[in-house]
Amino acid sequence: MSELSITKYFPFMRMKITEQSVHGEKAESAMIRMAPDLRYRPLCHHCQSPAATVHSNGHNRFIRDLNMAKAQVWLQVEYRKVWCDNCDGARVEHLSFANASKRVTDRMAQYIYELCKMLTVHDVAEHLDLDPKTIKAIDKSFLQESFSRTDCHDLRVLAVDEIALRKGHNYMTVVMDYFSGRIVWMGEGRSIETLDKFFAEMTDKQKQGIEAVAMDMWEAFINRVKHHCPKSSIVFDFFHVVQAFGRVIDKVRRDEYIKANEQDRKVLKGSRYLLLKNEENLSEKQQYHLQDVLDLNSTLNALYVLKDYLKLVYYYSDRQKVKKILDNWCEMAGQIEHPSVTAFIKRLRFFEYGILNHADYPIGTSRLEGVNNKIKVIKRKAYGFHDSEYFALKVKQAFAA
């Protein structure tokens, strides 16, 4: 009598294999029929307590299991409905290897979850010949179990920024633990209400433990941090300050181009990125063109110098020295008579505290900007990124400490 058996491949409690069959010329699929092992008392699926009695027999369900070699394996599972005194009603019999609401075994679901860490939902669906919606639902259920709760313990320094979900100003706010790089929280929008939802998940003690928050000069973020964490230092990011001044330079450049004669316009044409880029990133030809622009227009020349001088504000850790540099910068910039420059100086003065705080906390959202680039890759790969909850869970998974 042969001792060959497949039962060891299906170590499922309270079930026994009754029949097996292989289908297709190249064994493309296999069907394993299983029935309850009557030696064991059935359990209620809802509370997993022993059932009082069997309510009805003969129910069948097809459940997908892990492939065996290249063959898809399907389980035809016979199960019972039982009467549970604890639940006071008829319930489906508990299966040790599959959830009553799923059409795949637990080990198949775990395999799908692991694949989704590396592949897109569509790739996994194609690999396993399953519906993408099924793959996404399984992946999301695992993610919800691991990452749905906001972990706010040991937070001291945060970085807050937003990422565009799609065109049309649809944003999600991202909160990162600055030191660990862990994405703590993500929420739709970038309004006051958005950050209120994040802080609502923190205790008063946790809020008091926040020492500093890096962000851009977005007033909704500033307002909520001041409200919830009044003792924390708000630090405005270097990149966003310089970027904002870059927009001022571009406005002045356009106005200077309009005022210029035909000959001078030829020199100013194509100079936008020359003025905004760092000199070391310019080609030799671009450097010559930039020099012609600066020699031609004294206003643009002054702004170009001010752009580099503005970076010194973030260079030093001495708060008094930073204050002096900022005062000098504003005084020099004030000599340029242009409404955009005047407005920028006024904005710098209004948010001066967040720039000076950088001397005490040399942080910024640049680290979060790097994270945002990776988030964009996740967004492109994610099936159904319109599901913002699923998208946020995938991001938290990718940047778990």
pTM for the model: 0.81
Side-chain-side CA neighbours of residue 388 (13 Å): 14
CATH number of 157-237+364-398: 3.30.420.10
Please report the pLDDT score of residue 169 as a whole number: 63
Window from 95-104, 125-134, 265-274, 302-311 with minimum mean pLDDT: 95-104
Give the count of beta carbons closer than 10 Å to the beta carbon of residue 45: 20
Per-residue pLDDT averaged across 89-102, rounded? 87
Which two tokens mark 281? 């990133």
pLDDT value at residue 213: 96
The length of the chain is 401
Each residue's pLDDT tens digit, 203-242 = 999 999 999 999 989 999 999 999 999 999 999 988 889 9
Show the DSSP H helices in 77-208 as ranges.
106-116, 121-128, 132-147, 192-199, 204-208
Cα dihedral 185→186→191→193 (10° resolution): -60
pLDDT digits (tens, 9 = 90+) for 152-163: 999 999 999 888
pLDDT for 192 beyond 70: yes
Query: Around Cβ 131, how many Cβ atoms within 10 Å?
Result: 11
For the chain, domain boundaries: 1-103, 104-148, 157-237+364-398, 238-360
Q: Which amino acid belongs to residue 376? A: K
3-state secondary structure of 265: helix
CA distances from 184 to 133, 147, 214, 366 (A): 27, 9, 14, 17
Non-local CB neighbours of 74 within 8 Å, separated by 6+ positions:
29, 30, 31, 32, 62, 63, 64, 65
Give yes or no for a contact between 383 and 390, defined as CB atoms under 8 angstroms apart.
no
Q: Mapping DSSP to helix (H, G, I), strand (E, B) and coil, where does residue 15 land?
A: strand
Question: What pLDDT is recorded for position 299?
Answer: 94
Return the SS3 of 185: strand
**325-369 tens-digit pLDDT:** 999 999 999 999 999 999 999 999 999 999 999 999 998 877 766
Quick check: 397 pLDDT over 80?
yes
Query: Quick one: which of 220, 219, 215 has its CA closest to 239?
Result: 215
Please state, in angstroms and as integers, the Cα–Cα distance from residue 109 to each residue in 40, 114, 273, following that order.
Answer: 26, 9, 50
Instruction: Provide DSSP, 27-57.
Output: T-EEEEEEEE-TTS--BBTTT-PBPSEEEEE
Burial (CB count within 10 angstroms: exposed 0-12, middle 13-18, buried 19+), residue 377: exposed
Tell me if 93 sits within 8 A of 13, measured CB to CB: no
Across the strands, what pairs with 221?
none
Give the integer Cα–Cα distance in Å for 244 and 397. Answer: 32
What's the pLDDT at 212?
A: 96
171's enclosing H/E stretch is strand 170-177
In 236-362, alpha helices (H) = 238-259, 262-268, 272-276, 284-296, 298-310, 319-333, 339-350, 352-360
Query: Residue 3: pLDDT band by 50, 70, 90 thresholds?
Result: low
The residue whose two tokens read 């930073």 is 322
Average pLDDT, the chain: 90
